[in-house]
Amino acid sequence: MKYENKDLLDLYKLKAEEHWHTMFNPMLKYLGNLEGKRILDIGCGSGELTNKMAETAGQVTGLDLSPKWIEYCKISYQRKNLSFVQGSATDLKMFPDDYFDIIIMNLVLPNIYKVADMEKIFLEIKRVTRISGEFIFSDVHPILKMTKKEGARRQEYSKGFSYFKEGSKLSVIVALPNKKEIEFEDAHWSLSFYSDLIEKYGFGLVKIIESNYPKNAPKKFFRYSFPEYITFCCKKLK
């Protein structure tokens, strides 16, 4: 999905608010002390997480394919150690080898529809991450993808959709707290496929985080009876 329409951007910011409770806070807790770290946030979107990390990190760069998101972030956040760049995860040529201590990539891969592009992304991330650096990425949890309707989310599957067919497409409609809806066209990637990519490109899987709502999360957010998102916490081994 291309996030270029202003109305769509405004709607997505409501969904991003929810992400603090389901993804961002658990991710930051896992990472711990960011002091002095050089971080790349791929698919930074509206930039809330990018800006938060810059409060304590050494240097943070937000990258997004959408020029509208980058324009929004540059206007919204000004810190000496924070920058935003328009670009694609398949080509990180603006960054040198072994450059980042931490790379974050939230919900980017559901927007990638070709195996070849997935390979390019993992190859580039391997290149720009230093040895023992952290690579954390998330996707919609497969158990949710396999559920046609649950609470605020419903979806339709493309012809020939299968859990085992990498890149299978599904159309997803999510109801937001303001009663409006946002629609996505997602690609599905299996857990086995992710496991293979992690190993192939020299990373080790350290931890999996399955999203859940803490008790203090606002009641306006629908609480799924199973995980909505899955986060892979990896470390570069070679």
Profile the chain (238 residues) by mean pLDDT over runs of 10 residues.
Answer: 56 71 92 98 95 98 95 95 98 98 97 97 98 98 89 87 95 80 90 98 98 77 82 97
The domain 6-140+190-236 is placed in CATH, from the list 3.90.1150.10, 3.30.450.20, 3.40.50.150, 3.30.2310.20, at 3.40.50.150
Tokens of 48: 């809330």
- 12: Cα separation from own chain's centroid: 13
Among 119, 91, 129, smallest CA distance to 238 is for 129
pLDDT per position as a tens digit, 79-108: 999 999 999 999 999 999 999 999 999 999
Indicate the SS3 state at residue 71. Answer: helix
The domain segmentation of the chain, as residue ranges, is 6-140+190-236
HEC per residue, 86-128? ECCCCCCCCCCCCCEEEEEEECCHHHCCCHHHHHHHHHHHHHH
In terms of Cβ atoms closer than 10 Å to its own Cβ (0-12, 13-18, 19+), residue 92 is buried
Please tell me the predicted confidence (pLDDT) of residue 1. 47
pTM above 0.75, yes or no: yes
Cα–Cα distance for residue pair 157/76, rounded to 1 Å: 37
Is residue 137 within 8 Å of 105, Cβ to Cβ?
A: yes
